[in-house]
Amino acid sequence: MSAAHDARHTAPDAGRDALDAFLRQRMAQPFAWGVQDCCLFAADAVHAQTGVDPAQAERGSYHDAATAQRLLERSGGLSTLGARAGVEVLPGLAQPGDVGLVDFDGRQSLAVCTGAHWLAPAALGLAALPFNAARMAWRVRRG
């Protein structure tokens, strides 16, 4: 286990407790455009930890793959939306609660770091992806 994944290098207790509660709540929630897609899942994780909603302006503005794609194109893509979480860090230094851009099922997706892996919305709930699936990562601004 690297220092980046050591329990001593995690979010403050309140933020970590909020993150854990959020992830438990969403574990079995299936993918749904505009509700539980990768962008809103990542934004909701940031909101749970910080009280700030990085996707406030986009909520309610899309409901299917086509409208989501148009929004992504207007917004600059997944990496631009992921960067709203905080400053970019090397993916190998991601900590629990950080947002990452991962390779998932033949496409890119935003995901949330648990320390050992990444979680991303999938058909039957959250999918756990290997830690090395991340191409980019952003440190969530905590406190």
- Which class does domain 3-140 fall in? alpha beta
Q: pLDDT tens digits for the chain (143 residues)?
A: 333 443 334 445 777 889 999 999 999 999 999 999 999 999 999 999 999 999 999 999 999 999 999 999 999 999 999 999 999 999 999 999 999 999 998 999 999 999 999 999 999 999 999 999 999 999 998 75
CB burial readout 76-111, b (16+ within 10 A) else e:
eebeebbbbbbeebebeebbbbbbbbbbbeeebbbb
Residue 5: predicted pLDDT: 41
For the chain, the structural domain boundaries read: 3-140
DSSP 8-51: GGS--HHHHHHHHHHHHHHTTPPPBTTTBSHHHHHHHHHHHHHS
Which tokens hold the place of 85?
């979480």
Q: What is the pTM of this model?
A: 0.88
Question: From residue 1, how far is each of 21, 59, 98, 108, 129 by CA, in Å?
Answer: 24, 37, 18, 26, 17
One-letter identity of residue 90: L
Contact 118, 82 (CB under 8 A): no
Handedness of CA 110, 112, 118, 122 (dihedral sign): negative
Residue 141: predicted pLDDT: 81
Torsion of CA 58, 16, 24, 29, to 10 degrees: 10
